[in-house]
Amino acid sequence: MELTAWLAFHPGANSHQLDEVIAPSGRVTRATRNSRIGDVRKWLGTNPAAPADTFYLPHMNQQPDKLYRLDGVRCDWAEFERLVHESHRTDGADAQQLLREALTLVRGRPFAGIPARRYTWAEPLCQDMVSAIVDAADDLAARCLKMGDARGALWAVARGLDAAREMECLWRHRFRALAMLGQFDDLASEVRELDALVLDLGTSVEEATEELLRQLESHR
């Protein structure tokens, strides 16, 4: 699975690059590499939309450049990026729907719960993915609040916070949405939850958050 994920993010890989994934900083024999590649090829199987006996992971000698790459394999992250990109090219309800479809693909923090000492190559990629998820959630929540859709904003915020619990820009959207719904008891509970989180992180609540809470209390 890890090798398949790596190939999805690194199309056009050579044997040495694959070896680093199979055994980071270790030595990999040709037989071991071929066995792992064979496992991936068998696991993914053949592509029914392609000519007969065409594998989702074609044999290296079938590639003009003699490199490994997946063929016809879809990836949630590529779909997420496509949907977000399309949302930037439109506006209104269409943009909101595209962002919602993108965030529907998010299931917590990327690469969470992976085995120890595996997926080390994904660390910088994970940070980029988290940033993109937060940006999408931030964008959708802001659009929803502007349209008076507090529950839509809460949905977007929940997706974003599942990936990055510490992002206060999303907490502020949550506070605004709860105030819009008149759910001040829930708002107070969420504020306490954020206070506990920043205490655990050894930080403090951002000035923008404190100012928003003062505004909400004043309006109340």
Q: What are the C-alpha distances in Å from 109 to residues 126, 139, 145, 180, 181?
A: 8, 18, 24, 28, 28
pLDDT given at position 220: 75
Shared domain for 39 and 123, answered yes or no, is no
How does residue 127 score in pLDDT terms, banded at 50, 70 and 90? very high
Domains contained in the chain, number? 2
- Extract the tokens encoding 53: 């006996």
At 136-149, the pLDDT tens digits run 999 999 999 999 99
Please state the pTM of the whole predicted model: 0.90
Torsion angles phi and psi, residue 89, rounded to 5: -100, 5
What is the mean pLDDT of the segment spanning 118-129?
92
Q: Provide the total of helices (H) and of strands (E) in the chain, helices listed first.
A: 10, 0
- Domain range spanning residue 128? 76-219
How does residue 186 score in pLDDT terms, banded at 50, 70 and 90? very high
pLDDT given at position 198: 95
Residue 177 lies in a domain: yes
What does the angle CA 53 – CA 45 – CA 22 come to, to the nearest 5 degrees? 120
Q: Using a CB cutoff of 8 Å and minimum separation of 24, what contacts does 187-195 make?
A: 187/216, 194/168
Shared domain for 94 and 171, answered yes or no, is yes
Cα(113)–Cα(102) distance, integer angstroms: 22
**Amino acid found at 217:** E
User: What secondary structure, in 3-state letters, does 150-174 show?
Assistant: HHHHHHHHHHHHHHCCCCHHHHHHH
Centre a 10 Å sphere on the Cβ of residue 213 and count the other Cβ atoms it contains: 18
At 10-46, the pLDDT tens digits run 989 999 999 988 888 778 899 999 999 999 999 999 9
Cα(215)–Cα(217) distance, integer angstroms: 5
At 64-123, the pLDDT tens digits run 899 999 999 999 999 999 999 999 999 999 999 999 999 999 999 999 988 878 898 999
Residue 67 lies in a domain: no
Residue 108 maps to which CATH number? 1.25.40.10
